[in-house]
Structure 1
Amino acid sequence: MKLDLREALRQHILVGDGAMGTYLYQMGFPVGISYEELNLLQPDVIMDVHRRYYEAGARIIETNTFSANREKLSKYGLEQDVEAINVAGVELARKAVGHDAYIVGAIGSIRAGKRKNVRTTKVKEDLRQQIEVLLGTDVDGLMLESFYDLEEMLLALKVIRKLGDIPVICQFATEGTGTTHDGFSLQEAFAKLQQAGADVVGFNCRSGPNGLLRSLERVAGMDAPLPFSVFPNAGTPDYVDGRFTYAATPQYFAETSLKFADLGARIIGGCCGTTPEHVAAIAEALQGYQPDATRVDLLQSSEAKAAVVSEAAADPQQGAAGQGADFAEPSIIDLVKQRHTVIVELDPPRDLDIERFMQGARALKDAHVDALTMADNSLAVTRMSNLALGYLVKEQTGLRPLIHIACRDRNMIGTQSHMMGLHALGIDHVLAVTGDPARFGDLPGSSSVYDLTSFEIIRMIKQLNEGIAFSGKTLKKKADFIVGAAFNPNVKYLEKAVQRLERKIEAGADYIMTQPVYNAELIEKIHEATKHLSIPIFIGIMPLASGGNATYLHNEVPGIQLSDEVRRRMGDLKGEEGRAAGVQIAKELLDTAMKYFNGIYLMTPFLSYDMTVQLTNYVWEKAGRSIPTCTH
């Protein structure tokens, strides 16, 4: 009689099957279709794949249901077929293999590492639907695979445990790092999964055998460990002559399967790029292998110990000062605690001529501003890279650059790369913003990325300060970014805006910069609503250049509202008369702002830096000093 899956894992190492999706691709099925729908359309093909893996030696057979949830199937108009596809997936696997095989229902991550792409309530609903269908079949267990975040994994596991006591295998997609995508160490994640009722924990996808071996080495010495499972990719895919190929050979899989077994793996199979030949090699290598029945997982190989020593030697604490040590002066956070501090924004040019921009930077340097801040293609209008200009400002004027980082234009890869470049250039003050949608800018056909929300980008930049990459890998050094967050107080319900601000502070924001304010009473309200906050606020003030400028800002620019009084005073003023009136209104606003806030954020309209120079001088005069005590 076949043992229960839990008992089988206590007595044996079980060989898992290999890839389904990439194997179907190798068989000629194109990318862009639902491979799960083939359970209904071409059941003989799916049964044949299961049979080949079984004949190769696999005794853990996954159902072809990895993406058979409502969210993923809806992309193909199949959201009404969740039950039919999942039921068929189990039936086909059961019919295709012998009675000594264990059929496990495959459940994939819905978010797939994109934490913001689906609401948590919907994730839970869709997971529950698929889980309930699979539990209504005769599966021997369930496999949660290719999950990136512990949060989603726990969500699925808790749903399963409320519905039954079936064996559950929990696998993270990893690249050999020591953390999940949501920042938990592997040891901590596995401990939480064990507490929540997991039977097996492990890894699949994203990495080949070497990467998953490193991950397993990190957790092999855990106290009271669960059995481990590993399903590596067949190396990194290559794109040759219009086809994806994988390099890792079956022989290589045979060799590494023994290493996995030595570290306590009780289920060893393959993921993307693997074939029945890879599985056959694993099965042959493990034939006759006898694990330590008392405590397999106490084993930690010499390679693992060497990895630990190597990591300790590359302690990210070393070099924590980063490359930003050019500024021995206090950060703007330290400065604003001591005195009034002025940040001035100067927009990068929309063309290739930087002469006027650099003139403005030098003039503001002479006015002793504390930092020069540059937007990241504000209003989705294409401008010169603020990273490049920030470096030029730093090198040619000595001013501290403060760079805006928008979520709109870069995916997670580009964002981390951008931040690493800033660190290398010694630019450590940044402002994290969402960014205006691309369709409203000068290239409306371009895409808005938004891989990260403003909350997530703050948290992940601060993760770089811990020496940890977005992927969870060590960076060998720690960055030293001081991260600001944007705040729009020009809203109907200020309390709700402050609550959103509190979330940004929880995410790790070090300071706040507001949208421009044109009402003295609102400045007072902002003070009352935010005085409980633990980080400094820089009040935004942008002098108006003309009556037309005032009308445009009030009616067409999101996040900016002018009072009736300000619009009346600006009227139809133009040219020098308009700029003079704008500066005067800004000075009156500064009179109020400086009573309540040390942080002043001046925005320069149309590169008219003479206006923000005047206002900077006004701040110093009003503060009782013509030159600040700390200059750059």
Structure 2
Amino acid sequence: MKVPIRDYIKNHVLLGDGAMATYLFQQGVPVRTCQEELNLNEPTLIESVHREYVKAGSKMIETNTYGANRERLTRYGLENKVAKINREAVTIAKTASQDDAYVFGSIGSILAGRVMEYDPEEYMDLFEEQATALLYGGVDGILLETFLDLHELKIAVQAVRNLTDIPLFAQFSLLEVGRTRDAYSLSEAFKELEGKVDGVGLNCRLGPVETLRSLEKCIVPNSLLLSAFPNAGRLGITDGEVKHKSRPSYFAETAELILEQGVSMIGGCCGTAPAHIAQIREIVKKYKPNKRKNPAIDELASNRNRKLSIHEQKKDSILTKVQHQRTIICEFDTPKDLDTSEFLLGSRKLHEAGVDSITMADNALATTRMSNLALGAILKSQLGLNPLLHVACRDRNLIGQQSHLMGLHALGIDQILVITGDPSRIGDLPGASSIYDVTSFELIRMVKQLNQGISFSGKRLNQSANFVVGTALNPHVRKIEKAVERLEKKIEAGADFVMTQPLYDHKSIHRLYEATRHIEIPIFVGIMPITSYRNALFLHNEIPGIKITDDVLTLMSNTSNPQVARKLGIDITKDLLDCAMEKFNGIYLITPFTFWQMSVELTHYIRQKDQRLEKALL
């Protein structure tokens, strides 16, 4: 009869098993197969893998349930079989172990590497559902594995601890050595779990050496056991075959170094097989759990909580200016062709008129335009202007997005507006892919992580970025309170200022002010002049998020002369500015088409009116 795990692990290093999924693929199981469904369809296959690991020396085997949660199983139409799949997996593992090995219920991350918004309460329910089924099956312990983010892992820990006090290990998967994806050093992350779990550790993603490097540099609380289940090296392509590069003998050599870190439970993850476990069996026999010797200093101590104060922002930042004076942001679209002369001329005239920052869209309406990064760099170098660039979630995956932002930092461009971006299918290249790796909420958070000197993957960047991050607000909704609730979540994510869609009547401006007067960050109210009746109809009927009043439509319908129509559009806009300037210190002028002359005239109007007001107050 097996002794309780907690007693066994006091005097022995617990040798775990290796990979299930990658080993099954090596046996010919198709990659796209739902691995967990095999517990029902091919139980003898799963049992044979468990038996191979027990024969190789494993004293702990994991159930084939890494992704057996409702969210993942729904993709295969198996959402109603969560309990059955998990219970059957325990039965198979217990049959294979024959009391020669402990059976741990495997619960994997639900996010599983994705970056997305999620509901913590929903995740709590998902983890509880899976854990309940595993406990019903009779597991000896629970292993929470492959979690990139501390926040999600804490939810899983709470879910399990609400149900049981059996042995519980929690393992992170790192994208970079020594730090979680949500920017905690391992020392911080392990400390957060102290008193909640029996042990902490690492699995997947990193090979033996990088796992070793991570453990060498972190501090593990004395009350926690330590585990390590590295991959068999990095995944690569050799002779057209995708596989992990690591010989079983090498895995054994590095395992000995990992054990010297005070590891109490060791095994393998992706790319490992029974041969790897057999190689380290004899080494494990020689070791008794060593008392962990923590490094004197945590070399990866976090600056995660550092926030930039207003005094640390650059002096010409719109965020600094708008606190004290009228601040004008003017949007001016980059050209659709290769001729930049008109754009540069218009930008210079806008700057001379008194615009504080020129903002450039990121291929607005999914229509291809010249790179706003390139033209932003030219404006900065030639005009000494600090531009404000839109950054859309649509066009770049996470690799390209971080690279783009790092490039902005290198150029000294630190003002950005994070937006979702219109889908590609509505633009001039409808066959192009819309990426959307992240939502605007998540991208705001990740940009602020760069401000802490931490990359999207958790890697230290040696410098901290200094981005001032704006977000968009669409006030053209039936219930503006709902839009403001969404805005508040963006502010919670880290947004520093707000830019609204253009408004076309006093009532809407007053409505916006009343709905947002409690918002502490600056709001730049959008104002865009109309150029013609046809333009008004187009904006009102075809552009999402814009509404024009019947009064304005009627006024514009009375003229067909282009110059007269633009003059009328200017007059209507000045009236709107009078209203907006009473309520908001930030004005966001949106240049229609390439008519920069209209924005120049409106900028002069704003500056002259402010000067008259100042004189009147003296």
TM-score, normalization by structure 2: 0.92
Which amino acid counterpart does residue 584 of structure 1 have in structure 2?
D
Q: Is the 8 A contact 2:67 2:73 kept in 1?
A: yes
| C-alpha distance after superposition, 1:112-143 (max 9, x if no partner) | 24353654444333322222211111211111
Structure 1 residue 539: Cα displacement: 1.2
Q: Show the counterpart of 2:372.
A: 386
Structure 1 residue 530: Cα displacement: 2.4
Question: 573, 580, 583: which is aligned to 2:567?
Answer: 580
Once residues 524 and 42 of structure 1 are traced to their aligned partners in structure 2, the CA distance between those partners, rounded to angstroms, is 65
Question: 588, 597, 609: which is aligned to 2:596?
Answer: 609
Structure 1 residues 53-72: aligned runs within 5 Å = 53-72=53-72
Once residues 54 and 252 of structure 2 are traced to their aligned partners in structure 1, the CA distance between those partners, rounded to angstroms, is 17
Which amino acid counterpart does residue 605 of structure 2 have in structure 1?
Y
Structure 1 residue 230: Cα displacement: 1.1
Q: Show the counterpart of 1:629.
A: none
Q: Is the 8 A contact 1:202 1:229 kept in 2?
A: yes
Q: Is the 8 A contact 1:57 1:280 kept in 2?
A: yes
Once residues 509 and 124 of structure 1 are traced to their aligned partners in structure 2, the CA distance between those partners, rounded to angstroms, is 28
Report the 3-state secondary structure (helix = DSSP H, G, I; strand = E; otherwise coil) of the residue aligned with 2:552: helix
Q: Is the 8 A contact 1:407 1:433 kept in 2?
A: yes
What percentage of residue pairs aligned between the two structures are identical?
A: 50
Structure 1 residue 423: Cα displacement: 0.5
The answer as to 2:553 corresponding to 1:567 is: yes
Q: Show the counterpart of 2:616.
A: none
Q: Show the counterpart of 1:366.
A: 352
Q: Is the 8 A contact 2:127 2:160 kept in 1?
A: no
Q: Show the counterpart of 1:210.
A: 209
Q: Is the 8 A contact 2:194 2:221 kept in 1?
A: no
Question: 460, 466, 490: which is aligned to 1:480?
Answer: 466
Q: Show the counterpart of 1:149.
A: 149
Which amino acid counterpart does residue 287 of structure 1 have in structure 2?
K
The answer as to 2:400 corresponding to 1:414 is: yes
Structure 1 residues 230-245: aligned runs within 5 Å = 230-245=228-243
Question: 352, 360, 383: which is aligned to 1:397?
Answer: 383
Q: Is the 8 A contact 1:176 1:212 kept in 2?
A: no
Report the 3-state secondary structure (helix = DSSP H, G, I; strand = E; otherwise coil) of the residue aligned with 2:72: helix
Cα RMSD between the aligned structures? Answer: 2.6
Q: Show the counterpart of 2:258.
A: 260
* Higher mean C-alpha deviation, range 587-596 or range 567-576: 567-576
Once residues 83 and 328 of structure 1 are traced to their aligned partners in structure 2, the CA distance between those partners, rounded to angstroms, is 56
Report the 3-state secondary structure (helix = DSSP H, G, I; strand = E; otherwise coil) of the residue aligned with 1:163: coil
Q: Show the counterpart of 2:522.
A: 536
Structure 1 residue 287: Cα displacement: 2.3
Q: Show the counterpart of 1:37.
A: 37
* Higher mean C-alpha deviation, range 58-67 or range 150-159: 150-159
Q: Is the 8 A contact 2:54 2:100 kept in 1?
A: no
Report the 3-state secondary structure (helix = DSSP H, G, I; strand = E; otherwise coil) of the residue aligned with 1:518: coil
The answer as to 2:582 corresponding to 1:595 is: yes
Structure 1 residue 177: Cα displacement: 4.2
Q: Is the 8 A contact 1:316 1:478 kept in 2?
A: no
Q: Is the 8 A contact 2:169 2:197 kept in 1?
A: yes
Q: Is the 8 A contact 1:154 1:193 kept in 2?
A: yes
Q: Is the 8 A contact 1:316 1:474 kept in 2?
A: no
Structure 1 residues 281-360: aligned runs within 5 Å = 281-292=279-290, 296-297=291-292, 299-300=293-294, 308=299, 329-360=315-346
Structure 1 residue 572: Cα displacement: 5.5
**Unpaired stretches in structure 2, ≥5 consecutive residues:** 614-618
Q: Show the counterpart of 1:273.
A: 271
CA separation of 1:151/1:346 partners in 2, compared to 1, >3 Å: closer, same or farther? same
Which amino acid counterpart does residue 39 of structure 2 have in structure 1?
N
Structure 1 residue 612: Cα displacement: 0.7
Once residues 15 and 305 of structure 2 are traced to their aligned partners in structure 1, the CA distance between those partners, rounded to angstroms, is 41
Which amino acid counterpart does residue 201 of structure 2 have in structure 1?
G
CA separation of 1:135/1:389 partners in 2, compared to 1, >3 Å: closer, same or farther? same
CA separation of 1:223/1:394 partners in 2, compared to 1, >3 Å: closer, same or farther? same
Q: Is the 8 A contact 2:327 2:586 kept in 1?
A: yes
Count, aligned residues: 609
Which amino acid counterpart does residue 290 of structure 1 have in structure 2?
K
Q: Is the 8 A contact 2:332 2:590 kept in 1?
A: yes
Q: Is the 8 A contact 1:518 1:563 kept in 2?
A: yes
CA separation of 1:85/1:532 partners in 2, compared to 1, >3 Å: closer, same or farther? closer
Which amino acid counterpart does residue 346 of structure 2 have in structure 1?
G
Which amino acid counterpart does residue 336 of structure 1 have in structure 2?
V
| C-alpha distance after superposition, 1:315-336 (max 9, x if no partner) | 9999x99xxx9x9743111111
Q: Show the counterpart of 1:557.
A: 543
Q: Show the counterpart of 2:172.
A: 172
CA separation of 1:176/1:400 partners in 2, compared to 1, >3 Å: closer, same or farther? closer
Q: Show the counterpart of 1:630.
A: none
Q: Is the 8 A contact 1:113 1:149 kept in 2?
A: no
Structure 1 residue 241: Cα displacement: 3.8
Which amino acid counterpart does residue 136 of structure 1 have in structure 2?
Y
Q: Show the counterpart of 1:128.
A: 128
| C-alpha distance after superposition, 1:34-58 (max 9, x if no partner) | 1222223332322222122222221
Structure 1 residue 28: Cα displacement: 2.1
* Higher mean C-alpha deviation, range 349-358 or range 382-391: 349-358
| C-alpha distance after superposition, 1:359-414 (max 9, x if no partner) | 22222222231111011122222322211221122223322211111122223222
Report the 3-state secondary structure (helix = DSSP H, G, I; strand = E; otherwise coil) of the residue aligned with 2:537: helix
Q: Show the counterpart of 2:139.
A: 139
Once residues 208 and 135 of structure 1 are traced to their aligned partners in structure 2, the CA distance between those partners, rounded to angstroms, is 31
Once residues 69 and 89 of structure 1 are traced to their aligned partners in structure 2, the CA distance between those partners, rounded to angstroms, is 13
| C-alpha distance after superposition, 1:75-121 (max 9, x if no partner) | 22222332332222222222223422111111111122435365444
The answer as to 2:593 corresponding to 1:622 is: no
Once residues 379 and 329 of structure 2 are traced to their aligned partners in structure 1, the CA distance between those partners, rounded to angstroms, is 14
Once residues 368 and 305 of structure 2 are traced to their aligned partners in structure 1, the CA distance between those partners, rounded to angstroms, is 38
Q: Is the 8 A contact 1:548 1:572 kept in 2?
A: no
Q: Is the 8 A contact 2:317 2:386 kept in 1?
A: no
Q: Show the counterpart of 2:412.
A: 426
Q: Show the counterpart of 1:224.
A: 222
Which amino acid counterpart does residue 593 of structure 1 have in structure 2?
A
Once residues 223 and 316 of structure 2 are traced to their aligned partners in structure 1, the CA distance between those partners, rounded to angstroms, is 47
Q: Show the counterpart of 1:6.
A: 6
Once residues 194 and 337 of structure 1 are traced to their aligned partners in structure 2, the CA distance between those partners, rounded to angstroms, is 43
Q: Is the 8 A contact 1:405 1:431 kept in 2?
A: yes
Once residues 531 and 281 of structure 2 are traced to their aligned partners in structure 1, the CA distance between those partners, rounded to angstroms, is 76
TM-score, normalization by structure 1: 0.90
Which amino acid counterpart does residue 599 of structure 1 have in structure 2?
G
Once residues 136 and 175 of structure 1 are traced to their aligned partners in structure 2, the CA distance between those partners, rounded to angstroms, is 34
Q: Is the 8 A contact 1:61 1:104 kept in 2?
A: yes
CA separation of 1:475/1:138 partners in 2, compared to 1, >3 Å: closer, same or farther? same
Q: Is the 8 A contact 2:97 2:103 kept in 1?
A: no
Structure 1 residue 550: Cα displacement: 0.9
Structure 1 residue 190: Cα displacement: 2.6
Which amino acid counterpart does residue 199 of structure 1 have in structure 2?
D
* Higher mean C-alpha deviation, range 351-360 or range 553-562: 351-360
Q: Is the 8 A contact 2:175 2:181 kept in 1?
A: no
Report the 3-state secondary structure (helix = DSSP H, G, I; strand = E; otherwise coil) of the residue aligned with 2:611: coil
Report the 3-state secondary structure (helix = DSSP H, G, I; strand = E; otherwise coil) of the residue aligned with 2:228: strand
Once residues 177 and 573 of structure 1 are traced to their aligned partners in structure 2, the CA distance between those partners, rounded to angstroms, is 66
Report the 3-state secondary structure (helix = DSSP H, G, I; strand = E; otherwise coil) of the residue aligned with 1:514: strand
Q: Is the 8 A contact 1:433 1:485 kept in 2?
A: yes
Structure 1 residue 146: Cα displacement: 1.0
Which amino acid counterpart does residue 175 of structure 2 have in structure 1?
E
| C-alpha distance after superposition, 1:507-558 (max 9, x if no partner) | 2211111111111232233233323322211111111111111111112212
Q: Is the 8 A contact 1:546 1:572 kept in 2?
A: no
Once residues 127 and 289 of structure 1 are traced to their aligned partners in structure 2, the CA distance between those partners, rounded to angstroms, is 34
